[in-house]
Structure 1
Amino acid sequence: MRTSPLPSTDTRNTTAQDPALLPARAHKGRGAVSNANGRFEKFSHHAWDDGWLTQPGDAPANGDDAIGNISEAPRLKTTLGIDGARSVITRNQSPDVPFDRSINPYRGCEHGCIYCFARPTHAYLGLSPGLDFETKLFWKPDAPALLRKQLAAKTYMPAPIVIGTATDPYQPVEREKQLTRQLVQVLADCRHPFSIITKSALVSRDIDLIAPMARHNRASVAMSVTSLDHRLSNLLEPRASAPHRRLDAIRKLTDAGIPVTVLCAPIIPGLNDSEIENLVAACKQAGAQSVSHIVLRLPLEIADLFEEWLENHYPDRRDKVMSLVRQMRDGKVYDATFGTRMRGSGPIADLIAKRFDLARRKHAMTGRSLDLDCSGFIRPGPDGQLSLF
């Protein structure tokens, strides 16, 4: 391992500049290819071949794995730590989203979506937005109690809460921890309106809690469907539910009377934009009522991670995809300007939006809405119990 000052997060060309640096290798079941240091770290760390390691692809000695053979990347384990947050409801004032408050039960996400805009937040923990983001997770065991406390405050005024805006509330660890289910239970007890964003079929587990709220227009679900191509989906979102399982979850939710919107996000020109019409049609057939889209966003470290991913999985498309991305951002990789950061600008972005509008009209679908009823809210008492009156 070699250490060097970290002037930027761009590590794409380090191996070309120094052949002794070992190239990053994709890990089975993981999205990011590398584990580059976050933008707040003083030094970057690179694997360096000092001559003791055999080269990638070298034949093992005597039929066994040679010592130091690096042709196979080691399997990475997922760890779970505790997030000691003192509040659970996060506020925002973004004009690009139709809500002002959200809950994220977990930090980091094992789904490993390479494009995830939350990856850079791991840098605040001194961790990498790369592989650390999808292998070093944190959960908030006190979240249900903290939520009751915040809802009990006399100054609190109800408005729809969105669960899962940064990382997926139904990622694999939720099967064991059931933290999201506990939060949904608190909101249901208080008759507080909420919406859930996920790309996991596990959300159907909680239909028993969501459906009664939905009957009173107090709950909805937004399912993220990026591609119907299983290979592409598996590379983009390696530990998320397969496309057919998401469509099946939409059917189950819809059959239970829960309104479902589909988020086709992100749309990546040159990679999944050819699927727009088929995506909308499939989601409509599954029962979704509305659909919206977001084009690829590459803030901070994600730009390098995504281009590295392209180089590993779609090297023949890398230059074309990045060119199209820049055409949607006025020649830049990313533009954070409100109003355009979600949709982009220019002919490519306009064409994508037009195709979605036409597909939406063809299938009688609407855009996403969070028009939920807040009038039935019951404020919990100071001890967390609900009032009788």
Structure 2
Amino acid sequence: MTMRSSLKPLAVAAIAALSAAGASAQQITVTSWGGAYGKSQVEVMHKPFTAKTGVKVLSEDYNGGLAEIQAQVKTGNIKWDVVDVELAEALRGCDEGLFEKIDASKLPKGDDGSDAKADFLPGMVNACAIANISYANVVAYDKAKMGANAPTKLEDFFDLKKFPGKRGMKKEAGVNLEWALMADGVPAADVYKVLSTPAGVDRAFKKLDTIKPQIVWWSAGAQPPQLLASGEVAMTSVYHGRIYDANVKDGKNFAVLWDGQITVPDLFAVVKGSKNTKAAMDFVMFATSTKPLAEQTKFIPYAPARKSSLALVDDKIKPWLPGASHPGRAFQTNAGWWADHADELNQKFAAWLAK
């Protein structure tokens, strides 16, 4: 009895120590898009957040969409705590109850003292997600392989006679349908109006038909630069930051055709039912503060969602930011429109692919 009694304090101390260790060893999983973009987040968001809070951040990659998130929430088997989603998915996911609501009043002020609400660019703070960057979907080509006969406008992407060769395109409806209409003569301001009609949808697919036999489909952001480097395609759609990364870090000589650029905001959302909601929310608040968003541009030139961050971007990087006075047509994706029409058009796109 005496021995057992003397062991009790030791047992209690051991349990307390284990509990403390468990608390200090807390971790969250942040899922994003990988590549140079994912690395930028690891360096300027994950590592500093761990250093500040002691919460370990595990990084996972995916190719976008809501399917995996829906499956996790439906089954209750939540593997991801924070997910980097595009604006249309952020809106849909919030409506479907896939994401936790975020208290925007807790967002930190800008480093210049500005209130967060005024510091974030319009539309970058939502009920379930906070924006970190905007990137542009653009056309890219290899200068060396294209030679003097280089494309100058979006229509050239669809001109197989003047610019022979295969075309790389992401295997989804978004961007492809907008580009098809623009290349068919629809003004940028009218794209979604036309695409809202059955005749407009048919017109977009008819334009895509003109290059369909020459399309090489891609799904991951790392693929377009690889397709250009191998010469498998003459031109490709691509996230503009991937071309910057290939040129600066891999010594490529790729060019961006900015005409027709469609910018897309990316946001952080916390998955509904996360067992680490507080730590996940703390991460979102930290990752979307002024310094991390500004520092991220040193790795990849995506436009930060805060004005105070934009003010800190190096002048050498600014010409690579989307919308930075580039020539040609440009607009931001209509995320609300896509949130309402994605299911229908994705089904039509799948049927078109199968023809």
Q: Which has the higher contact order (CA 8 A, sep 6+)?
A: 2
Same fold per superposition (TM over 0.5)? no
